[in-house]
A and B are shown apart, each in its own frame.
Chain A
Amino acid sequence: MTRYLLRRLLSSAITIALMAVLVFFASRVLPGDPAVIRAGNDATPELIARIRAEHGLDRPLYEQFFHYLGGLLHGDLGTSVRTGNPVSADLLTFLPATLELSLLAFVVAVLVGVTVGTVAAAKAGRWPDAAARGFTAVGGSMPSFWLALMAIFVLVYTLGLFPSPVGRLPLGTSAPPRHTGFLTIDALLAGDGALAASALAQLALPALLLGTLSSIALARITRTAMIDALSASHTRAARGLNLRRRHILVQEGFRNALPTILTSMGFVAGHLIAGNIIVEQIFSWPGIGRYLSTAISQSDLDVVQGFVIVVGIGYVLINLVVDLLYVVSDPRIDLRRAG
């Protein structure tokens, strides 16, 4: 197990290194000159040159690359041309909002996706299956921005089921002292249960929406994997032995489908940590999705690079966890061969 883990860590490190190289050169393809954008309308050639020099943009590409790599090794993701802040500091400011939303959305996605997929497979060809397929077809075909706006219009402004989407806390509420950046947790740490409840309430609708949207792929894959497992020979044998339906569904179906479902959950988690620009825009959620969106529009190269690296590391770690969960969940996996 230790050897397997080391190998996986090594391959993850190589993946991250390759990604760092790729993202540097890919971000250079972004149109626009960040120095011109930063200099603004009163720019002079001297001012633009000074900004270029301050951000190392006047150096040859290879020098910029080595400077960037050197910075990365020291945990320096560069400086935002737009905000003037270290990218790592900006990401630390905005990342907790995205992570808090993503974690709750992930829980929703797993609950909804796995439940819908499992029920559909268990009742394949009958009305619950048709309903599940309808859910995934309709949900998958609707643009997320439209769905988000309709959700706000109906669930907030018409039915009053959720608070107004005005950010992470209701209007007129002050944020708790920052420890984790997760407002629900920070509020609890501050001993303010009501504030934690308010923060959770603000989270609810965007998390439900994002989670439900993310659950669609998970539901489809769960259904397919479960149907495959339930129609396999070992399941037919179990039926022949008159084992209980529950046993067949869980032991023969779900356990055998689990590696596929875990893979899909990994994709969903990876997708969620990258932030969701549309949901963050519409719900006024100050996460990294919006931060990236602005950075791209302003050709803020260090931010784009830093974002991709941080999110990429997140992806790699999630994949690592998923791989380890395979081993735990499926005794058939031979670590010697898997390594």
Chain B
Amino acid sequence: MRRKHIAPILAAALTGLVALSGCQGGSQGDSGGRSHSFIIGAGEVDGLDPVQTKTMTAQMVVANLYANLIEQKMVPVADGYLDGTEEYVNSIVKSYETSADGKVLTFTLADGLTFADGSPLTADDVVYTMKRTLSDASYVSGSSTVFMHISDAEKQIVAVDPATVRVTLDSPAPALNAFLALSTFGILNAEKGTANAGANGAATEFFVKNATPSGPFTLESWNAGESVKLAKNPKYVHAGDVYPEQLTILNMADEDQRYLALKNGDIDVALDLSPRLVKEASSEPALTVHSMPSNTLYYLGMNAKVAPFDNKLVRQAVAAAVPYELLMQEVLLGQASPAYGVVPHNMATSTAPSETATQYQTDPQRAKQLLAQAGVSNLTVDLSISSADPISVDSAVHIQTALAQAGIKVQIKQLADADFETKSKAQELGFFVANWASWVQDPFFQMRALLLTDRATNRTGFANAEFDKLVLDGIAEGDKARRDELSAQAQRIVVDEASFVGLFTKNLTVVTRSDVDGITLADDQLLRLKYLSRK
């Protein structure tokens, strides 16, 4: 008798599960009830150490947990977002003085500063943080040291008194402010770091898992792989300007899911949506698309040490065959700007004649002529791309078609991302599509990273002694006019060599519910969430 009822009981259990879900569920449809709290659909947080995190979401979290000495000034622009300017304003300092020779910087901290736990924030914390970021414990120490002109952090960064920090530079550093405003220089609690120094003495294990917030938000919880919850930090020096009371940053790995959740009002902001979904979102009245010109540069790399790209005419022929406009329209669906050389048009000293100029003109006939001049026919080349980047994959298909018209047969090789990273950084790929976004809007930072001989991120194998000298001189140069001239000369060499062909700069796109305001475009492309508000 009992057995007779097993099937109905099981069926009832399943139905019950659905019913239970129905009771618990129900779409919200709007963001009602969340006036001061925001939910952001993003990616994974891989840690909380400002100088160790690698994912963009983790870096965004860190940028909002820690305050810097200075921060980038944001101004509203017509497109409805806040754009980062070249001006830097005081954050936790009340004054910032530079000596007449530009080599000695004196920072005076604001009065009564504390960390979120109430412990005082003093000059010792600033010194600890800066030295740590410039040490081996940091993955950004190399470039930071070079561009900030601090060759010996131990001696050059000192606490004069509890409220004063003095930094002595090797020479004036034009990019210094941009570095000081990066999340990697967010002020950590020195006492906690020293108490938890760990194996490497820099408290890496501690700061990867724990936060000592000094910025606009505190860490409420971090469920690995799932979500991070931030709450407004009432001890933050500018707490009165912070609108959000609570932020939830969800790890939503699937972009379609992020989009559906946003459309349904479950989340307020969706990051990193594909051009297809951004376009779809633009026709939804409940959503707002912020498509912001950024410096994420997609480029075609041709390794001059690998045949047939050791022939400059071949490189120029390829550059002439690439369908630049088509890529922007068909792959990015209009969410991109033309690229010109190695320095994007929206970065200082760019030699681009206008915002719409491309580095090379699409001209298949000219490509054929250049190939004929090079004495090359029936050319077949492998185009390597990372299979993890759909934009590279789609671009490669269009490039393949366009180059076929110029008589070049392209075989697309999709590599696993780790494989692509390793091989391209070892300069083993002859022909590839890659991308780059500098955190610092400095032309020499950009050129050093992408093309200085044997830099880790010089994937093209570009090696030009004259270029290297111009870039290194530019990094050391304090005079703006001279710097601009050095930059222009270096850029011209890159265009002429045609090893590095800019394809387009991809816009940074952020899609929000229509009632969300305060999206920012900082130089490092990390959202500064304290500006979020409701319309």
Contact = CB atoms under 8 A, between A and B. Distances in A.
A157 B250 contact: no
A31 B416 contact: yes
A205 B27 CA distance: 14
B415 A42 contact: no
A224 to B, nearest CB: 21
B493 interface: no
A12 to B, nearest CB: 30
B interface bracket (residues with beta carbon within 8 Å of A): 35 or more
B272 interface: no
Given A111-B14, A286-B223, A297-B416, A162 B254 contact: no
B21 interface: yes
Nearest to A161: B22
Contacts of A198: 24
B23 A201 contact: yes
A157 to B, nearest CB: 5
A84 B250 contact: no
B21 A201 contact: yes
Contacts of A36: 421-422, 425-426
A42 B20 contact: no
Nearest to B44: A294
Interface in A262-281: 280-281
A298 B417 CA distance: 7
B449 A41 contact: yes
A306 interface: no
Given A84-B204, A111-B14, A284-B253, A297 B456 contact: no
Majority secondary structure of chain B interface residues (helix, strand, loop or mixed): mixed
B144 to A, nearest CB: 8
Interface in B132-156: 136, 139-143
Contacts of A133: none
Contacts of B205: 84
Nearest to B209: A85
A286 B141 contact: no
A164 B7 CA distance: 29
A interface bracket (residues with beta carbon within 8 Å of B): 35 or more
B260 A157 contact: yes
Interface string A139-171: 000000000010011001100111111111011
B194 interface: no
B274 interface: no
Contacts of B23: 197, 201
A37 B250 CA distance: 25
A299 interface: yes
A94 interface: yes
A149 B253 CA distance: 13
Contacts of B20: 197, 200-201, 204
B260 A152 contact: yes
B21 A204 contact: yes
A282 interface: yes
Contacts of A167: 223, 226-227, 250-251
A201 B25 contact: yes
Interface string A29-55: 011111011011111100100100000
Interface string B241-267: 000000010111110110011011011
Contacts of A286: 223-226, 251
A97 B225 CA distance: 10
B7 A115 contact: yes
A197 B143 contact: no
B176 interface: no
Given A32-B416, A164-B264, A166-B261, A42 B27 contact: no
A297 B388 contact: yes
Nearest to B10: A111
Given A42-B456, A174-B221, A286-B223, A281 B254 contact: yes
B423 to A, nearest CB: 8
A115 B10 CA distance: 10
Contacts of B417: 32, 297-298
Interface in A186-237: 197-198, 200-202, 204-205, 207-208
A11 interface: no
A41 B254 contact: no
A281 B418 CA distance: 20
Contact of A84 (B47, B418, B419): B47
Contacts of B422: 31-33, 36-37, 299
Given A156-B27, A166-B261, 4 more contacts: A163-B25, A281-B254, A286-B223, A296-B416
13 contacts: A32-B417, A36-B422, A47-B136, A84-B52, A149-B260, A152-B257, A153-B260, A157-B264, A200-B17, A282-B254, A284-B251, A290-B253, A294-B44
Interface of A: 30-34, 36-37, 39-44, 47, 50, 82-84, 90, 93-94, 97, 108, 111, 115, 149, 152-153, 156-157, 160-168, 170-172, 174-175, 197-198, 200-202, 204-205, 207-208, 280-284, 286-287, 290-291, 294, 296-299
Interface of B: 7, 10, 14, 17-18, 20-28, 37, 39, 44, 46-47, 52, 54, 136, 139-143, 204-205, 208, 221, 223-227, 248, 250-254, 256-257, 260-261, 263-264, 266-267, 388, 415-419, 421-422, 425-426, 449, 456-457
